[in-house]
Amino acid sequence: MDSQRRKILRSTLALSAGSLVGQTTLAGGLGSSAPPTGLRRIAIEEAFATPELFEQWQTVLADPASHEPGFKALYRPFLNSPATRPIRDRLLDLGELRLNDMKNAGVDFQVLSITAPGLQVFSPAKATSFAQKTNDRLAEVVQEHPQRFAGLAAVAPQAPGQAARELERAITSLGLKGAIINSHTQGRYLDDKYYRVIFETAQALDVPIYLHPRTPSPDMMAPYSNYGLEGAGWGFAAETSLHAMRLILSGLFDELPRLKIILGHLGEGLPFWLSRIDSRFANKTWTDLDSSGSLRRLKKAPSEYIRDNFYIATSGMHWHPVLMFAHSVIGADRLLFAADYPYESSAEAVRQLDSAPMSDKDKKKIYQTNAESLLKLSTSIS
């Protein structure tokens, strides 16, 4: 057994033998503690939308030629149901309502990003145009509330060269802090070298890309459709963890070793699988050939790329056992706080992390200092 797998096994055994066993329920979490002091809570996966985005989504939904079965299954009811109206209102609000929700929950700062699937259901031209308009609007909001908001840029992977240029504009001219991409783009995945310029630009700018979930690709939707499995309850994590594994096994991080990717929802299940992934892909080779015609091997075990190139956000996973498992195998330096507003309760997210059985030092890293370092947020913001 190699040292990496031994480390994972030791962490797992220590966790299972510790205080979590037999003391935690889905409803209540583990124990309680006083809220940590001397920190600010920065939530980094907090969604917004624009009226124009909703209008254009309705156009896609009405188009019989659009081959987006997952999008149609999930978003047709979402955009039209009275039950989801409070969420839609909060997605559109970038002022008083959102700020009050933050205050009431104890969240000091949100990193805003366009809600899934964003622009990735549009044509390349429309998506590129919308990216520019959306980023301009996001930058205006950040300028209006610099002590409460930062932003991740929307880009249109449908047109990779233009997406890379828009990312550069968003960072250098608009002051945004990274980018968000909502998994596959009309069934196409980012390990395809067609998209490499986007990653090259992100590494050159030293900014992260948030790989956010969306419904499974058109070719994969059928098994998910019968029971509503395409959404956040299952399909989102299955889709995004698959996408992350494709990036790792493609050799992307050997080519771009300083590239940084954020995964939400405590890593979309990947921390749980680290040992098995390493053992099953111990001799994994790339699928393409080098200049000599030989298959090329990855330089590291898959779990090493997850630890070295990925950050894991807590969004929507407000439960002590999974939080502490991720803490044990990924480490506090790679965890980021997120509420997944307005889809999840910010107050519950804060309550669960405040009362988690870890040191205040680690809580401050997760709430604040990791995000400040990764996104280059001003420490003067209060």
List the catalytic residues: 340
Q: Which residues pair with 113 in a beta bridge?
A: 47
Q: How many CB atoms lie within 10 A of CB 176?
A: 25
Contact yes or no for 110/338 (Cβ under 8 A): no
Contact yes or no for 155/121 (Cβ under 8 A): no
Q: Are strands 179-181 and 295-297 parallel, antiparallel or unpaired?
A: unpaired
**Amino acid symbol at 194:** Y
Distance CA 243, CA 240 (A): 5
Distance CA 381, CA 362 (A): 20
Of 342, 347, 345, 351, which Cα lies nearest the Cα of 320? 351
Contact yes or no for 312/241 (Cβ under 8 A): no
DSSP state for residue 332 in the 8-state scheme: G
**Amino acid symbol at 348:** E
The two tokens of residue 138 are 């996001």
In terms of phi and psi (left: phi > 0; alpha: psi -120 to 50; beta: otherwise), the region of 122 is beta
Distance CA 264, CA 300 (A): 23
Distance CA 12, CA 321 (A): 12
